Chains A and B, each alone.
Chain A
Amino acid sequence: MTIAPPARLEGLPEYVTRRPGGFYRSTNPSTKLAIAALEVVAAFLVPGWPGPIAVLAAVLVTAAAARRLRGLATIGLAASPIVGSILIINLFLLPGASDPIVRLGPLAPTWTGLWFGLQTVARLYAFSAAIALVYLTTEIDDLLADLARRGLGRRAVFVVGAAVQMVPRTIERAAEIVDAQRARGMDTEGRFWRRARGVVPLAAPVVFGALTEVEERTIALEARAFSAPGRQTLLRVPPDRVADRALRWAAVLALVAIVGLRIAGRFG
């Protein structure tokens, strides 16, 4: 079932009719999803260095052309704790590695561990960057509208859309509750046990506050005919050009090819 776009666009406000502009940002969201899926599969299924390196290069070039390198850098920084953990654990503790770089008492970092760690990190970055590029270049509303046009039900669209909006609001509310409890004398910066004692007075209002909203939202949705049968009209539909479609099919075919080659053992 496809959902009909509105027949007439004139008279609609500008924020509804405005098309996303710019390189890669104007590409159809489903096409970007297909490309990201291809990149993730390539990063994990092509063995050794070529897979992750090729994916990283492709993502970085696209991000630079779409002026989204800064966003990618933030995500790269956010991943640094896990990158540190991966490197340290593999450097010192890779089982079976016996080619030490240097001996430091009980510690013996190995070359095998270092390469294995670096490769895991490259895979992780390739995989995260490929997916991050989709949301850095796509409005969530556009992505959901495009998926709705392709038959994703309105319930699924609502759940995903509402969840994405609700997370920052819940965090804001949690911060307000922290302030309110501090004003009542709760210690949030003391020792571990003092902080741990504050978990219940912080978490309980967040959880119960969010749950009490469910009732009101249900009534509001039902009042707007949420569960009514029949088609919906989408106000805003991202364009799907011939080039978008061609790119999407190419990505899907390449993905199938990589999986096929991997199963057939052609990567060696």
Chain B
Amino acid sequence: MDLLKRWAARQFTTRVIVLMPVAIAINIVLGATVQQALKLPIYLDSIGTILVGVLAGPLAGALTGILANLIWGYLLPAPIGTSTIGPFFITAGVIGLLAGIWGQLGLFRPRRGGRASILAASIAVVLVGALALYTYARAYASPDQFVNITGFKTTDFDRSRIFFLAVMVVYVVLVGVALYLRRDVGAVLAIGAGLVTGIVAAIVSAPIAAIVYGGVTGSGTDALVAAFRAGGDSLYQATLKQGLLSDPMDKMITSFVVFFVIGSLSRRFVARFPNGEKAIGANTEAEIGANAASPG
């Protein structure tokens, strides 16, 4: 019990307490812009939550997510505040919790390496791709097989196949950008963590969207829900499928952004957070030389 208390207290240093409102404001401002102004079928409202989770730990991350949604939903005046977002505080909490776990595992650490490690990462990506392709080939070999494996209906076959491909394409594009433009192997892990977070987030938020709003949330994702219901799905199935398309993409993009935000902050700043050292990693000799040569 004492250990648990100390573990919790360690996550809430003054620095984290100051970071949390900043993270909440980033969530709300970026989220409101993307959902209400741009009307894209993604959310981008968990950058702050994942940032706090990675830098401070699971409890701080979960609390940031929960508070962000509650404040956004119920404390801010009308044009920004929308009560539709409030009930999703459960999802936001789960996202922060997962981000904290990924942070403690060191998945958001930059791993800038030489050619050897990029080669190794490329091989790993090819292996993951092969595994995904194998799954794809098994699950989508024929409609009958698809029904056997997933439990969905035959009518979902084509759409589900397109989803799978769309999510894989986003994954490959983000990984490609990270590997070839930034030469950073760590991004592969961070984006993978985002994919897992997204799938969990979709499963958690589908019942909320279905029960509280009849599947409609007033953002760009409504078009998807409408399309599925037109295809004869139940409300719950439609919101789950919408989530399984939007959430993994959204969380992969968010994790990618957070990964680069942490990489762009000064090491001194990041290292002072409870999990900071796990987010910056050890300096290689070459990097120490490069840092000394170019201050800032």
Contacts and interface: CB of A to CB of B under 8 A. Distances in A.
Per DSSP, chain A at the interface is helix
A207 B50 CA distance: 13
A164 B38 CA distance: 23
A78 B82 contact: yes
B281 interface: no
B67 interface: yes
Contact of B67 (A124, A159, A218): A159
B74 interface: yes
A116 B214 CA distance: 9
B23 to A, nearest CB: 9
A268 B114 CA distance: 69
A160 B18 contact: no
Interface stretch (A209-217, A230-238, A249-257): A209-217
Nearest to A135: B75
Interface in B1-47: 12, 14-15, 17-22, 24-26, 28-30, 33, 38, 47
A23 interface: no
Given A160-B75, A164-B71, A85 B29 contact: no
B265 A211 contact: yes
Per DSSP, chain B at the interface is helix
A95 B218 contact: no
B269 interface: yes
Interface stretch (B125-133, B134-142, B227-235, B286-294): B227-235
Contact of B77 (A77, A85, A135, A155): A135
B222 A159 contact: no
A207 B83 contact: no
Size bracket of the B interface: 35 or more
Q: In the complex, which of the residues A159, A162, A174 has the most CB atoms of chain B within 10 Å of its own CB atom?
A: A159
Contacts of B14: 218, 221-222, 226-227
Contacts of B261: 207-208, 211
Contact of A89 (B33, B74, B212, B225): B225
A159 B79 CA distance: 22
Contacts of A222: 14
B75 A164 contact: yes
Given A82-B216, A218-B18, A207 B222 contact: no
B282 interface: no
A213 B22 contact: yes
A203 B76 contact: no
Contacts of A163: 20-21, 24-25, 67-68, 71
Contact of A86 (B29, B47, B213): B213
B217 A167 contact: no
Contacts of A95: 229, 232-235
A243 interface: no
Contacts of B79: 78
B78 interface: yes
Nearest to A143: B75
B264 interface: yes
22 contacts: A79-B82, A82-B216, A86-B213, A90-B214, A116-B214, A120-B214, A128-B83, A131-B73, A131-B83, A159-B21, A162-B21, A163-B67, A163-B68, A167-B29, A167-B76, A169-B25, A195-B38, A206-B30, A207-B261, A211-B269, A214-B19, A218-B15
Interface of A: 44, 71, 74-75, 77-79, 81-82, 85-86, 89-90, 93, 95, 116-117, 120, 124, 127-128, 131-132, 134-135, 140, 155, 158-160, 162-164, 166-171, 174, 195, 203, 206-208, 210-211, 213-215, 217-218, 221-222, 226-227
- In order of increasing CB-CB distance, the 9 nearest A-B pairs are A82-B218, A162-B21, A163-B21, A166-B25, A163-B24, A128-B83, A78-B78, A93-B229, A85-B216
